[in-house]
Amino acid sequence: MGSIQPDYLIAGIFILTYLLISLQRIPFLHLDRPGVSLTGAVLMIIFAGLTLDDAYKMIEWNTITLLLGMMIMVGSLRDGGFFRFLSHRALSHSGNSGRLLWFLVFLSGILSALFVNDTICVLLTPVILTIADDADLNPIPMLIALATSSNIGSVMTLVGNPQNMLVGHFSGIPFFHFFLYLAPVAILALIANGFLVKWIYRAKFPQKQFATFTHFQAPRVDWFQVNWTLFVFGGVLILFLAGVSLALGALIGAVATLILARKSPQHFFVHVDWSLLLMFASLFVVVGTLKSTHWIGLLDTLILNHDSSLFIKYLHFTGITILGSNLVSNVPFVMLIRVVVDVLPDAKTFWLLLAMASTFAGNLTLMGSVANLIVAESAKKKAILSFTEFLKVGIPTTIISTLIGVCWIWLVT
């Protein structure tokens, strides 16, 4: 490796990269998050004196592989119409607006734990808008319930969202153990979120009876493709529970899906978020370079340099995580703080807190998670989900769900 430039230069590139990432998009540069991340990685290589081989070694390829495998399997289910069918069956038979909301909260939460929250928001948003039209309901409470519940539900498993996948890889916590610790947190937080949405929108979302939806037709489903993919996905979950690495299990599932499908792999590759994979790989290089400097010690001091009870330390760490996740987004923050969590006493507990808090932090504001933005953008032609409207639910549900998480983890670890 070439000679490293002064630490302040590396820190400057890091700060600039994360600042631009937090802005979502830079109009005058026309760069999005993946573009900014790639630019930051290249600048690190140039100014830190790295070779391409040095940069490649910093990339956590197991995480990239896990994401790719899950995207292919979810893409097959999406292409086959499984999510449209499932949402139709669950939501169109609810009977009244109250049960409809609870159906939505738990359907989006549970599906997000298995199939990644961003995907569920993409698929359920148009369904909700159609149901709202047919049932003459205000769609805003349901859209907010979808976004917040998908974020909450995704905390249950190591494959529920990208930051959990990172935590799973970095921490080595087994799939089933992670589920046992955080599934109760997710269930309790989903219940609290459902009651919160119903209470806040009690005037705009009254109890209303309806028998059926006249215009919402059952979707067409390729059952051969869906059944085989579900069979494969079940096998992958068994592999996870048996202790097979997340990356290998997901890769096996992806290959099995492609082999068993009666379609060209291109049908599934179009559902892979290649931009997200590029962003992950680039951020690994950005953060990996910063690790070679003394600046990373500042995070360690910020987290550990205080005398307090264990519960207060958990709250302190959780607060930093929520703040950091909203400043630079949860995935980059998890990549950054991992080097500190690795050396903390009782690191397993802090990994669980990190997964919980970085996920629930996404509910704080409309910009807090990609899932929120997907719902808002997908619905904007029929319903405007504003920043301030989201805050009505976002602030209290983040506080309540996070306190539930901290208390539960404190009690069981």
Whole-number Å distance between alpha carbons of 313 and 319: 10
Confidence bin at 92 (pLDDT 50/70/90): low
Mean pLDDT of the chain: 85
> Domain for residue 383, yes or no?
yes
Examine the pLDDT at 18 and tell me if it is beyond 80. Answer: no
**Contact indicator for 286, 40 with CB cutoff of 8 Å:** yes
Range 369-395 average pLDDT: 85
Structural domains of the chain, count: 1
Confidence bin at 146 (pLDDT 50/70/90): very high
Whole-number Å distance between alpha carbons of 398 and 233: 31
Range 349-372 average pLDDT: 91
> Domain for residue 2, yes or no?
no
- Residue 3: the pLDDT is 46
DSSP 209: B
pLDDT tens string 160-211: 998 999 999 899 999 999 999 999 999 999 999 999 999 999 887 777 665 5
Whole-number Å distance between alpha carbons of 214 and 402: 40
Report CA torsion sign: 260, 261, 266, 267.
negative
Examine the pLDDT at 134 and tell me if it is beyond 80. Answer: no
Residues spanned by the domain of 341: 7-205+221-412
Least confident of 52-61, 176-185, 214-223, 225-234: 214-223
Continuous segment of H or E residues that includes residue 404: helix 387-412
Range 69-81 average pLDDT: 87
| Residue 333 Cα distances to 19, 48, 284, 338, angstroms | 12, 21, 11, 8
In the chain, the largest separation of any two C-alpha atoms, in whole Å, equals 72
> Domain for residue 40, yes or no?
yes
Confidence bin at 356 (pLDDT 50/70/90): very high
Range 101-118 average pLDDT: 91
Whole-number Å distance between alpha carbons of 7 and 158: 34
Residue predicted with more confidence, 134 or 106: 106
- Residue 142: the pLDDT is 93
Examine the pLDDT at 353 and tell me if it is beyond 90. Answer: yes
CA atoms within 13 A on the CB side of 73: 29
Range 88-107 average pLDDT: 80
Continuous segment of H or E residues that includes residue 183: helix 175-200
Examine the pLDDT at 70 and tell me if it is beyond 90. Answer: no
Examine the pLDDT at 219 and tell me if it is beyond 80. Answer: no
- Residue 112: the pLDDT is 94
Burial 327-366 (b: 16+ CB within 10 A, else e): ebbbbbbbbbbbbbbeebeebbbbbbbbbbbbbbbbbbbb
Return the beta strands (E) in 7-141 as ranges: none
- Residue 217: the pLDDT is 63
> Domain for residue 306, yes or no?
yes
> Domain for residue 211, yes or no?
no
Reading the block at residue 147, the tokens are 């976004």
List Cβ neighbours of 60 (8 Å cut-off, separation of 6 or more): 166, 169, 170, 284
- Residue 349: the pLDDT is 95
H, E, C per residue of 201-216: CCCCCCCCECCCCCCC
pLDDT tens string 297-337: 666 666 655 567 888 889 989 998 998 888 777 888 888 88
Q: DSSP of 311-325, one letter per residue?
A: HHHHHHHHHHHHHHH
Most confident of 136-150, 210-224, 267-281: 136-150
Main-chain phi, psi angles of 31, to 5 degrees: -110, 135
Reading the block at residue 189, the tokens are 């937080």
- Residue 265: the pLDDT is 86
Tell me which residue of 373, 392, 400, 396 sits closest to 204, measured CA to CA: 392
Residue predicted with more confidence, 135 or 307: 135
Whole-number Å distance between alpha carbons of 126 and 159: 24
